[in-house]
Amino acid sequence: MTMPLSELEITDIPGQRIYSVAEVSSILREVLEDPRLQDIWIRGEVTNLKFDQRGHCWFSLIEQKEGRSSMLNCVMWRNVVAALPFTPAKGLDVLAFGYLDYYSPHGMTRVTVRDLRRAGEGEKHLLVERWKKELTAEGLFAAERKRPLPVFPVRIGVITSPTGAVIEDIKNVIGRRFPVEILLSPTTVQGDLAHLSIAQAIRQVDGKVDVLIIARGGGSFEDLFPFNHPEVVRAVSRCTTPIVSAIGHEVDVTLCDLAADVRAPTPSAAAELVVRDRVSLQNDLKECRNQICYTLEGRLERMRSILEDGRLHLHHRRLQKRVGERRQELGDFAERLIQAIKTRYERERLTLANFAATVGAQNPEMPLRRGYSIVLREGKVVHSTRQLARGDRLTVKLQDGRGEVRVEEVIHDEDL
């Protein structure tokens, strides 16, 4: 009797091996574990795009070349989708980062995408990664290159756009905390040639200030791209002046930030880093003075106790014959001790007075209290008659206010 083909158990075909579906699936997985197919970037055009109810994204990448079409199926899980800075769309040219996988339940080879970027922006991301490796190899981001910031800078340089909120924020913070001179080295902060302008602005102000702030406000990766350029990184690393970098928002990290001596999350935070808070300094000074006085008073009290113990001890019967001698010695010792304490106290008092004078001397308002005035022309301090012309309107700042004046005549010292 002939049995149906479905009931036959075919175990072999002469000259060939018969594989099970599971075996073929296992072989496919092994092939796809090739390192060349793991953690790779793939460029293509998005098509067959759809999102399911759970937020996962399914799409294909296609490429048309020489009249032939190639396509790869892709999946992107919802946590990756949620982190994207843009929404994928059909026809978009993208770079997909991920690995090839074989999904045996559906017999499907697909790319599991872990990052997705617009092709142009993606290429710049890859370029920044390449620059980062090269500059790291040069040692430009090494911790031992970092320098401390000056405690009391007299002049602060700022490298940023001359317009916009960044420079005003920095001026306001420094003016509130500890007013010092600010020297702006203007630059463009975005655009194809911005990196050249930024590097030149760094070189122009280097050595003319005590500390530098290089800053710009928030923006996209494309906006901040000039601050990743090796031209800017090398200018920062060669700068002899300590640099604080504050580029974009706290989450934005550029190669300029890595090369700087200190990174600040925002321009305002950078301004807070470069100057001390004068109110806090005054409070610290008072606390230091109080602590010194408390310490000296404690020492005096302990010395008095020692002297009293010595006086009582001298009354002991065994020392009656030498009481006069010991009293003289004790009196001399007490006098020398009190004199030493007074000398130390005076030295500490002078140290505190000098420190207070140093802090006070940094305050630009101090000369006003001694009867001097500050002359301003268009908001800037006038240092020389060469800055004046007849008819100029000036502002004269005094201790208790200001006045508006007009220049009637300019007389130079050499004219007298």
Is 7 a member of any domain? no
pLDDT at 91: 82
Is the same domain home to 192 and 257?
A: yes
Is 123 a member of any domain? no
* Total domains in the fold of the chain: 4
- DSSP letters spanning 157-174: EEEE-SSSHHHHHHHHHH
pLDDT band at 362 (very low <50, low <70, confident <90, very high): low
pLDDT digits (tens, 9 = 90+) for 61-86: 998 887 788 899 999 999 999 988 88
- Which of 186, 252, 180 lies closest to 220, judged by CA? 252
Q: Does residue 269 register a pLDDT over 60? A: yes
pLDDT at 6: 46
Q: Which of 274, 301, 317 delimits the end of a domain?
A: 274
Residue type, 156: I
Is the same domain home to 292 and 257?
A: no
**SS3 (DSSP) at 409:** coil
Is the same domain home to 99 and 204?
A: no
Is the same domain home to 334 and 297?
A: yes
Q: CA 141, 144, 147 angle in degrees (round to 5)?
A: 90
Is the same domain home to 145 and 267?
A: yes
Is 213 a member of any domain? yes
pLDDT digits (tens, 9 = 90+) for 323-338: 666 777 777 777 888 8
113 phi, psi to nearest 5 deg: -90, 130
Is the same domain home to 109 and 182?
A: no
311, containing H or E segment? helix 278-314
pLDDT at 5: 43
* Cβ contact 391:372 at 8 Å: no
Other C-beta atoms within 10 Å of 184: how many? 17
Q: Which domain holds residue 385?
A: 367-415
Q: Does residue 11 register a pLDDT over 80? A: no
Is 394 a member of any domain? yes
Is 129 a member of any domain? no
- Which of 149, 359, 126, 415 lies closest to 272, judged by CA? 149
CATH code: domain of residue 172: 3.40.50.261
CATH code: domain of residue 87: 2.40.50.140
Is the same domain home to 262 and 346?
A: no
Q: Does residue 392 register a pLDDT over 90? A: no
Is the same domain home to 48 and 106?
A: yes
Residue type, 250: E
* Cβ contact 397:365 at 8 Å: no
Residue type, 213: I
- Which of 241, 187, 190 lies closest to 212, judged by CA? 241
Q: Which of 218, 242, 274 delimits the end of a domain?
A: 274
Q: Which one is predicted more confidently, 294 or 364? A: 294
Is 228 a member of any domain? yes
Is the same domain home to 270 and 155?
A: yes
pLDDT digits (tens, 9 = 90+) for 170-195: 999 999 999 999 999 999 998 889 99
pLDDT at 343: 85
Is 46 a member of any domain? yes
pLDDT at 236: 97
Is the same domain home to 286 and 407?
A: no
Q: Which one is predicted more confidently, 306 or 366? A: 306
pLDDT digits (tens, 9 = 90+) for 114-135: 999 887 666 777 788 899 999 9
Q: What is the distance, to the nearest Å, from the Cα of residue 241 to the centroid of all Cα atoms in its chain?
A: 16
Is 314 a member of any domain? yes
Residue 375: which residues within 8 A CB-CB, separation 6 or more? 381, 382, 394, 395, 396, 397
